[in-house]
Structure 1
């Protein structure tokens, strides 16, 4: 009996912690803090790595402070966020539109699905020389590459979800006089909201992945540029700074999209 009570208390502890304000944040911060501690121990205390191989945390912070004092850090962050949001927005809208078209039309599915499936298999770097040839080395080519990366997760999620919408739900909508776009926006899309947002969150992560490839296109600003420039100049501290900033900002944007997802699920799902 005592063992049962103890097990119940252990099982209820995470639930109680989740009800505490900021409880999930505290839980989520444990692993990063442990990794930071291990990083500090193996570099600054034990000296297992040289500063070229793995700089200590304070060296990475110092590199960030240096860039900030020179007025460059904020510019790098702002230009990368702008590129990601523009590319993500364009790719998400196109993915939603094309995924809806193929998910609702068997003719469009038969005509376009093989071609889109083939393009989906093309690596991101393979688009770089073609985009430079077509669009030059300016912002259009960078945003387009990010949009390509964001398109496919949204397209796949919407297309697959619409293919599995309950036919009885669709027939009920048609019985109430809904057809075409009205049927899509009133019945079918609300039915696939969870899948749509899963695709959007994958697309946002993909947009951040494609950012580095996009900023290989003759960039002089952005976190991807900091990453590649640091590699070329041997500045491992700045390289790690760029990686950490990409991870943190990517997580922040994903969390913001998660808030929108919860509101959408409350409203439509």
Structure 2
């Protein structure tokens, strides 16, 4: 589920936003109305509740629900995936760079060439009907998603690496700001690819350029083995520095430590990583322990 904390969301007010805090449009008087670029709910076959979203209210009282939840299972076979099309960038949610929880993010100029693997989560009832970072209304029955770096709006194909199921989503929100998460899916998208009801899953997110349809719309080939979760703790040009970090991690008993040779922008580096880890929960626990050692937050790699 989406986790972002009131402090984190307040930090990006009028900047990037997240489901819990949205930039305030001019002349709204605290009541935000739908974006001019938002597709009509009837066109999407969605069921968005109609009510006023008062952005002037404190975070702990803005939402109807205190915690997130999901409705009974839905038949996603009757829902239509969005058709990627060229759209103007949203006036809200695209400021770059922006900072949340002390971490700085940069918004990409486009989704073209974006291809990442990582952990997906999803969000549902608590945010349904409230404004996304682009000031569109979040509809958990539409195929949409939140990303920290993809421009708003943009499109991507999300593939569950554990079962090969995929869905095209329209990215119209910021998040997830929970460590180790790559993308937050709408409830419908999570059901479509089998992330629900588990709550998280290993995915590939491939950006779509609507101006160049074709190969980018095709589902990626999925390796027919269970993908592994790794935490990259550092990358060093100096072999000695890599080995010293590896020894420190081995001494902490966090799991199997690997030192991997790699080429990054034409430079030879040695990546220090831990894994494979058995599941997302284990990865979260190990990440917390790594940060407890005074080391930077590790990056998730899914191979």
Task: Please classify the TM superposition score into its range, dividing by the shorter chain length.
Answer: under 0.3
Q: TM-score, normalised by structure 2?
A: 0.19
Q: TM-score, normalised by structure 1?
A: 0.20
- Which of the two has greater strand per residue? 2
- Please tell me whether Structure 1 or Structure 2 has the larger radius of gyration of its CA atoms: 1
